[in-house]
């Protein structure tokens, strides 16, 4: 019997969207209308997809031994069984394409790895399903509750809006609905799955996650006056914003794409949420682009990258501090990313810095690791990464173009047969020299704020922050998302091994695959510990409050301020004046520093005890080429500051 379809009526709120995104949402359609356009993979297409997935999981996937042990799964056998079913099948008796997508998605989700994905073909690959509101969780005492924190600016309702408590979801208690939803997603630990279960209640990236089973949802909610009510919303489908992460790397720089650590689903969801709930950011991006193109200057804390950084000064009961939010590390201009971060932190109060990376799904690994040097006097050791030992990974490293720098892993991969080692030796993706080239630029105390939606490069950044003892880590969850890997798409493998004998075959009709190819290991006192599945455990825990969700994280910021107020404040300011006699005079103003040691071209020049928080010295500039100057600052015998420049 033919299924009856309810006629699509365009929701009124879509017509009232902010002008900066209204045109973008003109393509929005209902879920049933969208699903009626899918069904593109024939039998041979499906076989190709499964064969290529089997190849990547069995021969390239870095976490396969860990996932088999930790989650008691066998994705290789599951894919082999699916392939056998397809090879004995016939075109006329194929199950619906949605059933194939579900089996592939479920197999990859069982890995609990947000790096390793089956990416659905057109029309799913460019679409996101959404509802016009956001649900977030908070704690009242020890009880977790669920609140509508944002609604789309175009949506209005007399009783449903920010501040209402969600108590039922399609007739199911909200706690159970979140758990059921979390079970469908691939978070590496329970905290990460719960966070994803809440996030995807209202926003889903269809390239990775199955489309909602229901065409609409009925929300049971408690109004701000305490009255229980219900409201219905239809699922809508629309592309994310154009600047969402590219799924296919073929049109991008290969070397950069090989250094990616990104939770693609999180990136796509955040892009859709920005359009729905923060269209002012999109407007700001356009305004900044126009100003920069015309040569106009921005006000001090207005970022040239407003979709990445948000800086402000915050006042708390414990004092006034700097606050800097990093929304993503996904920016291919690495020097531009680092320079903008450096510019902003030097404009913020020196008494302490709150660095907030919550819900940051990662991006370019160097963006995360190069930042660390700006916050500490200690030398940065970038995280080493390892391939799993397979003949195919050895072949890739041996045949890779020199510019992608896979040579260091070849020797240990060659020795695998004799050594029996499961993994190659570990080498960093980020250059150690570049991780220490700039030196420290912020000398005050720093607290890092994380949650369980931090993933990939953000996990690497948080691990490096903790492993180098830069400052306390404050978490709104019990751990970060625990994504410890460098991720490659299928097209990267295809570019590294070309020709008729390459095992990597073209994928049909827009399908794609991603796999965690190099696992990351921690350094310092946790050296050798995988980031995957373990993540970064915060030093301090803050349970988000209702006030946090409705008032710009006020309680969280106050907690971070209280932590910063217990840490020593140090300042190191250097002013220089060039004299006519080939000499440069330096004046050094300090706080919390008792001695400085001066080095030029890595050779010690002078050691100065500081009195009254100021000192001065003079250096010769007779050399024909600039020489590196380094000033190491001490409190007693403890290294507390390191300044670098050229003279």
Residue 581 has a pLDDT of 76
pLDDT digits over 44-83, tens only? 999 999 999 999 999 999 999 999 999 999 999 999 999 9
Edge to edge, what strands does the sheet with 29-30 contain?
29-30, 236-238, 128-130, 203-205
- Please name each of the domains of the chain with its CATH number: 12-36+126-238 (2.30.42.10), 249-564 (3.90.226.10), 571-646 (2.60.40.10)
Choose the weakest-confidence range: 115-129, 209-223, 254-268, 286-300.
286-300
Stated length of the chain: 647
Taking 70 as the threshold, does the pLDDT of residue 533 lie above it?
Answer: yes
CB-based contacts of 26: which residues, under 8 Å, 6+ apart? 14
Mean pLDDT across the chain, nearest whole number?
A: 93
Q: Residue 240: phi, psi to the nearest 5?
A: -70, 180
Confidence of residue 478 (pLDDT cuts 50, 70, 90): very high
pLDDT digits over 224-250, tens only? 999 999 999 999 999 877 655 544 444
- For residues 41 and 587, give the distance between their C-alpha atoms in angstroms, rounded to a whole number: 70
Mean pLDDT of the region 558-576: 97
Mean pLDDT of the region 107-136: 95
Tokens of 477: 């969850």
- For residues 487 and 515, give the distance between their C-alpha atoms in angstroms, rounded to a whole number: 6
Confidence of residue 5 (pLDDT cuts 50, 70, 90): low
Taking 70 as the threshold, does the pLDDT of residue 4 lie above it?
Answer: no
pLDDT digits over 616-646, tens only? 999 988 767 889 999 999 999 999 999 999 8
Residue 250 has a pLDDT of 43
Assess contact for 190 and 481: CB atoms under 8 A: no
CB count within 10 Å of CB 638 equals 11
Taking 50 as the threshold, does the pLDDT of residue 575 lie above it?
Answer: yes
Residue 1 has a pLDDT of 45
pLDDT digits over 370-405, tens only? 999 999 999 999 999 999 999 999 999 999 998 889
Mean pLDDT of the region 120-145: 94
Mean pLDDT of the region 584-592: 96
Residue 434 has a pLDDT of 97
Mean pLDDT of the region 509-517: 96
Residue 281 has a pLDDT of 87
Q: Which residue has the higher pLDDT, 27 or 336?
A: 336
Residue 620 has a pLDDT of 86
Residue 285 has a pLDDT of 82
Query: Structure pTM?
Result: 0.95
Residue 407 has a pLDDT of 96
Q: Which residue has the higher pLDDT, 86 or 246?
A: 86
Residue 187 has a pLDDT of 84
- For residues 543 and 140, give the distance between their C-alpha atoms in angstroms, rounded to a whole number: 9
Choose the weakest-confidence range: 42-51, 441-450, 572-581, 585-594.
572-581
- For residues 220 and 9, give the distance between their C-alpha atoms in angstroms, rounded to a whole number: 23
Query: Rounded to a whole number, what is the distance in angstroms from the first to the last CA of the chain?
Result: 82
């Amino acid at each position: 019997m033919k299924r009856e379809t309810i006629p699509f009526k365009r929701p009124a709120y879509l017509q009232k969207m902010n002008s900066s995104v209204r045109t973008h949402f003109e393509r929005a359609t209902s879920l049933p209308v969208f699903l009626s356009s899918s069904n593109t993979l024939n039998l041979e297409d499906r076989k190709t997809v499964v064969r290529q997935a089997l190849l990547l999981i069995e021969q390239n996937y870095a976490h396969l031994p860990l996932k088999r042990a930790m989650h008691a799964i066998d994705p290789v056998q599951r894919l082999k069984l699916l392939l056998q079913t397809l090879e004995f099948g016939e075109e006329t008796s194929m199950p619906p394409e949605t059933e194939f997508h579900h089996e592939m998605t479920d197999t990859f989700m069982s890995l609990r790895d947000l790096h390793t994905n089956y990416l659905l073909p057109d029309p799913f690959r460019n679409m996101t399903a959404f509802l016009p509101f956001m649900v977030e969780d908070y704690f009242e005492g020890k009880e977790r509750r669920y609140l509508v924190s944002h609604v789309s600016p175009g949506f209005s309702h007399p009783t449903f809006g920010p501040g209402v408590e969600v108590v039922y979801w399609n007739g199911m208690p909200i706690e159970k609905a979140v758990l059921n939803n979390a079970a469908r997603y691939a978070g590496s630990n329970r905290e990460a799955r719960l966070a994803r279960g809440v996030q995807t209640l209202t926003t889903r990236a269809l390239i990775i996650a199955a489309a909602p089973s229901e065409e609409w949802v009925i929300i049971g909610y408690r109004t701000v006056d305490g009255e229980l009510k219900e409201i219905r919303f239809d699922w809508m489908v629309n592309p994310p914003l154009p600047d969402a992460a590219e799924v296919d790397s073929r049109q991008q720089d290969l070397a950069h794409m090989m250094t990616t650590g990104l939770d693609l689903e999180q990136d796509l969801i955040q892009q859709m949420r920005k359009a729905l709930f923060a269209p002012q950011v999109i407007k700001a991006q356009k305004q900044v682009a126009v100003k920069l193109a015309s040569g106009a200057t921005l006000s001090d804390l207005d970022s040239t990258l407003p979709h990445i950084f948000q800086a402000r000064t915050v006042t708390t009961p414990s004092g006034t501090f700097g606050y800097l939010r990093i929304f993503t590390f996904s920016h291919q201009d690495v020097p531009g990313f680092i320079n903008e971060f450096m510019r902003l932190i030097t404009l913020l109060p020196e008494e302490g810095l709150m660095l907030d990376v919550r819900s940051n799904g990662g991006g370019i690994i160097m963006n995360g690791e190069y930042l660390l040097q700006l916050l500490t006097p200690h030398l940065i050791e970038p995280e080493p990464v390892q391939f799993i030992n397979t003949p195919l990974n050895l072949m890739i490293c041996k045949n890779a173009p020199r510019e992608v720098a896979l040579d260091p892993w070849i020797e240990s991969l060659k020795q695998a047969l004799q050594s029996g080692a499961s993994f190659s030796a570990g080498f960093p993706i980020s250059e150690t020299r570049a991780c220490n080239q700039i030196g420290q630029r912020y000398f005050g105390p720093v607290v890092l704020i994380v949650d369980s939606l931090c993933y990939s490069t953000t996990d690497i950044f948080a691990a490096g922050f903790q492993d180098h003892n830069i400052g306390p880590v404050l978490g709104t969850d019990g751990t970060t998302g625990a994504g410890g890997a460098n991720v490659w798409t299928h097209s990267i493998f295809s570019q590294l091994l070309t020709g008729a004998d390459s095992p990597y075959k073209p994928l049909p009709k827009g399908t794609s695959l991603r796999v965690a190819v190099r696992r990351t290991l921690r350094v310092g006192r946790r050296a050798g510990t995988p980031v995957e599945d373990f993540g970064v455990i915060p030093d301090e825990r803050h349970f988000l409050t209702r006030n946090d969700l409705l008032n710009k994280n006020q309680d969280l910021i106050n907690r971070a301020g209280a932590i910063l107020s217990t840490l020593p404040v140090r300042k190191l300011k250097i002013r220089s004046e060039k004299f006519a006699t080939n000499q440069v005079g330096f004046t050094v103003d300090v706080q919390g520093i008792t001695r400085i040691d001066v080095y030029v071209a890595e050779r010690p020049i002078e050691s100065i005890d500081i009195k009254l928080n100021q000192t001065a010295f003079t250096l010769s500039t007779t050399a024909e080429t600039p020489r590196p100057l380094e000033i190491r600052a001490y409190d007693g015998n403890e290294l507390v500051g390191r300044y670098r420049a050229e003279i």
